[in-house]
Amino acid sequence: MGPQNSSLPSLENGLKSNLIYDSPKDFVKWAGKYNIKLPEELINQIELIHGSDTLASRERSSYLNIIGSLLKLMQSKTPPPFGNQSAIISKILEDHPKKDGLSKRNLEKRFSEANRNLEASE
């Protein structure tokens, strides 16, 4: 056997050695766990292709505001159905003006993403 790098995990020191990962993100997590420096460009490409596990706080707030406004809309006395997404967006904008993430453009974008995701998962 060739020389061993003592900073890498091995079977001798009781760590599970696994060279097959469920996803590239798992590999990045594994490397971080053992303080293995990966090129920033590689990490960025993996996150771009496979998505990041965390949302930026503003993006998270935006999603929570969208979900919250939809919940309130579903529980309101306003008689549904609204007929289409435009009517739903108009009602959300009327009920929650100037709330982070609840602009007409963002709601249209997020609803479109949600519709595509839902259709792809069916």
Tens of pLDDT, residue by residue over 38-95, are 888 887 777 776 666 666 777 777 787 888 888 788 777 766 677 788 888 998 999 9
Distance CA 101, CA 55 (A): 14
96/115 same-domain check: yes
47/66 same-domain check: no
Amino acid (one-letter) located at 56: A
With respect to residue 27, please indicate whether it lies within any of the assigned structural domains: yes
Global pTM value: 0.50
83/101 same-domain check: yes
How confident is residue 31, by pLDDT bands cut at 50, 70 and 90?
confident
49/81 same-domain check: no
Q: What is the number of structural domains in the chain?
A: 2
Range of the structural domain that residue 35 is part of: 22-53
Cβ atoms of 9 and 34 closer than 8 Å:
yes
Distance CA 110, CA 122 (A): 18
pLDDT in tens, 13-28: 444 455 556 677 778 8
33/68 same-domain check: no
